[in-house]
Structure formats: structure tokens, C-alpha cells
Structure 1
Amino acid sequence: MHIQTQPTPNPATLMFQPGRPVSPERTYDFDNPDDAEVSPLASALFSLGSVTGVFFGADFVSVTRDPAGSDWATLKPEVMGILVDHFASGAPLVRGETETAPRIDENEEDADIRAQITELLDDRVRPAVAGDGGDIVFHGFQEGIVYLKMQGACAGCPSSTMTLKNGIENLLRYYVPEVTEVRAV
């Protein structure tokens, strides 16, 4: 198995592309070993000690390291070994269901607005952030405010605030005039 690696805008995160589907149905984001217990792969990655985040995208795994821990020169081969072992074993990516964050209480009258927002996010934003090793999850729209959660390489990225405010907020405000602000969850 040949695994390609790609840097992300977040210097603490590398994207690993195994050349096969990872989680095509939905994304998974683990930010601590306790949450990762449902995933044999995420648990194995956290066991390396320097890993502080694991994200599964459709065809990639993003791994975030503790800047005070091992450097990528040391950690990268260990991560690649775990990925090869996992995919060769045929073990499941996740056992059982994982919890999703609750959505913001929403007004039913805003259903059309939410549909416009999710369509823009799915068509224009999510593919771009997936290319950087992350994802953005829509958590709701209330009183003009769009609530989003940054995941994977996007969570904790130095440019994530600029991405939310200058990129996504401007895009949504342009196409959906009811949007006045975008906030991170």
C-alpha cells in the first residue's frame, strides 16, 4: 500500500491519503483518546503519545500532533505504519455509532434558508477544506447567525478564523442575505 502525505495549512497537521476510501459516508473527528475508543484506527494513532487529533475524511486521514511532542520526521513513519496495518487487517474504522454535536435550536420558518446554506457549504466550501485535510459541519442557523464547526486540519489552524470570517461568512452573506454572521461552535 502506498500512502501519500500532504501538508495542510495547519502546521501541526498532516494529511495521509491511502489511495482508497476511508470514510465516504461521513466524517469522524476525534480530539482525545477517550472519544477515539470507538475507532481501532484512531485509538492506535493516539497511542503514539504525540497525537492530539485524528480526523477521517472520505479518502484521507488527518493527524494532528502536539507541537511539544515528537516532530513529523519521527512521527510520520509511525503513523504510516499504523495506517498500513489497519487497512491490511480489514478492521472496521468505527465500532458502533458516535455522537454528533447537537444542532442549534432552529425556527421552522428558516428551513429554506438552512437549505440554501447547506447547499453552498456542500458545493463550494466543504470540497475546498477537504483538500486541506478538514471539514466544516453545519450546526444551525438562528437569528441571522450561522453556526459551524471546523474539524480535522481546520480545527486549531492559525487561519481558521480568517477562513470563517473572510471566506465563508462573505460567501454566505453574498448568496443568502439573511445571514449576518458566521460563528464557530
Structure 2
Amino acid sequence: METPNEHALKFLPSMNILAENETREFLSGREAACSPLALKLFSVDGIRSVMFGSNFITIEKSSQDLNWSLLKPEIFSILTEYLTNGTPIISEGHELSNDMEISEEDDEVISMIKELIFTRIRPAIQDDGGDIEFVNFREDDGTVYLRLKGACRSCDSLSVTLKNGIESMLKYYIEEVQNVEQVDEDFEINTSTKEVEDEVKFDSEVKFESANLSPRSRDDPPNL
């Protein structure tokens, strides 16, 4: 399945890959050591990244000179083999993590940001073969730091999605939000209120019922 990123394809297996709302991205074969399937996919010459969603797999190629028609047969062969022989997608002992759990330490603004991302933004991002990770909120200047993954990470329309879609929606509902910035895997920031955490344990049963999202204006909310 094509994505807005010409360098990435979204594959839709006939079975669930991970539990609902879980994702896992690998940017190299070294990172993929915990996943036999991802490690095998990286053996295909020209694969840049692999991301697993609950019911999809996004694969990104490393160069526009590589033709998908040459890559897809080997990718399909690997997927068919691994998804039919019962081999675990993620090896036992390697816990998945996610940034969307609302913890007791989160203030009201961060809770609202997480709820909005999880319920209204993330589904649209995943439809395009990507994912979105909340990194931090800087209270002193109203900046939300996010990390886009999968097909969205290197998409040519990333800046449009980030500013016209995600930023506009967050600002529409949450007056404390003034700006949204995309950060890479190596980004670290200290703020006046919180430090960025490397990983937050994920609870797939988390419910978003506490935050009260009310629009800041009577205009229609922006679309992604």
C-alpha cells in the first residue's frame, strides 16, 4: 500500500502484528536484534527502516534510485515466511514502550496534549503508515516536542503535516500550546518543568477520560 512518502510502503498482513495501539520502529539492523522479522527484513539490500504497528508494517527504502518492484518480491517472501510459521515478532524479554500513558506526574496541559494526540492525531498518522511520539512540553514558551516515525519521519510533506495539521489542531484546543517542533532520536532537552524521559511504560488499557478538550474558537477544527 502506497503512503504519502514515496520512499515508504505500508504492508497490511492478514493478522495482527502487535497489540492494539502498540508500535515499534527500527532504524538499523543493530536496533532490530530483538525482532527476528525486522532483522531479516534488514537483510534486504536497500532497506532503511522498519516499523511495526498493531496491524501494519511500514518499510522505508534508503534511496529513490531503488525500485520497489525489485524490493517487494523479497519483502513479501520474508513476511509470508515469518507470519505463517508462528515466530514471535518481538523476542520475549523485550518490553514495548510508549509515550502516551498519562501518568500521575503529568499536569493538566500535558494530559490534554497526550489525549488529543492519541485520540485524534495518531489514528490519521498511522493510516499513512507512520506514528507519532510525544517527547515533551516546554511550559515557558508553549512548545510541544514530537517525534514522527515510519513513513512520516522522512516524508516530503512533513513540515506541512506538522504545522498545518498537528500544530493547528493542538493550538485550536489547548491555549497553552504555541508551537510544535519535530525532533530526532538523539534529541534531549531540559525544561523548567520536566525532563525528557527516554521511555515511558505503555499501558494498552489506558483511558483518556480526565482531560476536558474545549476548542479555543468557534471555527471548525483543522484537519490533518
Give the TM-score normalised by the residue count of structure 2.
0.74
1:79: which partner in 2?
75
Cα RMSD of the aligned pairs, angstroms, is 1.9
Partner SS state of residue 107, structure 2: helix
For the residues of structure 1 that align with 2:122 and 2:61, how far apart are their CA atoms?
Answer: 23
Alignment correspondent of 1:93: 89
Larger displacement relative to structure 2 (34-43 or 64-73): 64-73
Paired residues of 1:38 and 1:98 also in contact (CA < 8 A): no
Point out the structure with the larger helix share. Answer: 1
Q: Runs of 4+ in structure 1 displaced over 3 angstroms?
A: 98-102
What is the one-letter code of the residue matched to 2:145? Y
Aligned position for 2:7: 12
TM-score for the superposition, normalised by structure 1: 0.88
Alignment partners' CA distance in 1, 2:64 and 2:54: 29
Matched, 1:131 2:127: yes
The 8 Å contact of residues 50 and 69 in structure 1, kept in 2 or not, is answered as no
SS at match of 2:28: coil
Where 1:79 maps in the other structure, the secondary structure is: helix
SS of residue matched to 1:157? coil
Higher alpha-carbon Rg: 2
Amino acid at match of 2:53: G
* Alignment correspondent of 1:112: 108
Q: Tell me which amino acid in the other structure corresponds to 2:19.
A: P
* Residue equivalent to 2:52: 56
Range 8-17 or range 85-94, more displaced: 85-94
Corresponding residue pairs, total? 175
Query: How far apart are 1:101 and its partner, in Å?
Result: 8.9
Give the secondary-structure state (helix, strand or coil) at the position aligned to 2:161: helix
CA deviation after TM superposition for structure 1 residue 69, in Å: 5.6
| Structure 2: runs of 5 or more not aligned | 100-104, 184-224
SS where residue 135 of structure 1 aligns? strand
Q: Does 1:155 align with 2:153?
A: yes
Q: How far apart, CA to CA, are the structure 2 residues paired with 1:124 and 1:65?
A: 28
Query: 2:94 is matched by which residue type in structure 1?
Result: E
Residue 172 of structure 1 is matched in structure 2 by 170
Higher fraction of strand? 1
